[in-house]
Amino acid sequence: MNWTINVTDNSALLIITAAGEPDVAGFQAYFAAATAHPLWHPKIPALCDFRSLEAHKASNSMIHEIAQFFRENLNRLDAHPDVALVVKGPSDYGVARIYEAAAGDFSRCSVFYSVDKALEWLAENNEGIPARPAALEFKPARPSV
């Protein structure tokens, strides 16, 4: 699993782009990188661009393990962000909805096919969300370093 982390200059939006086959270690690594970012804060909303992630390859147990990891660690940090998951197709949408249900109520989460719709949803409850951050100019996901 490859991923990149970006935060808008005004700290209004965390952007996670992931590609490839999902794995628990990849999600744990991007969480650690995101929360260590100097502009990260506990209420920062996240747009997860998973259109290049092969989410349909995740097992049910993997989805629940990832959800539990995020729930425990966000609660530990007293972080309850809004999270928009953007996926490419129906099977990935289904996996994302399973994650959404497994994650529970630690954050407000929703699944979209469109980045624009996801940004609109995030902007409903969060100030400063840009209409189209430069980080979303459809660059291919790169491996983290």
pLDDT digits (tens, 9 = 90+) for 93-130: 888 888 878 777 767 889 999 999 999 999 998 888 87
Write out pLDDT tens, residues 122-137.
Answer: 999 888 887 776 666 5
Distance CA 145, CA 129 (A): 27
Task: Look up residue 11 and give its two tokens.
Answer: 């700290």
Q: Is the pLDDT of residue 143 over 60?
A: no
Domain 2-136, second-level architecture: 2-Layer Sandwich (3.30)
- Domain segments of the chain as ranges: 2-136
pTM: 0.86
* Residue 139, token pair as written in the block: 């660059």
User: Distance between CA atoms of 43 and 40, rounded to whole angstroms?
Assistant: 9
Q: What is the mean pLDDT of residues 76-94?
A: 91
Q: What is the DSSP code (8-state) at residue 113? A: S
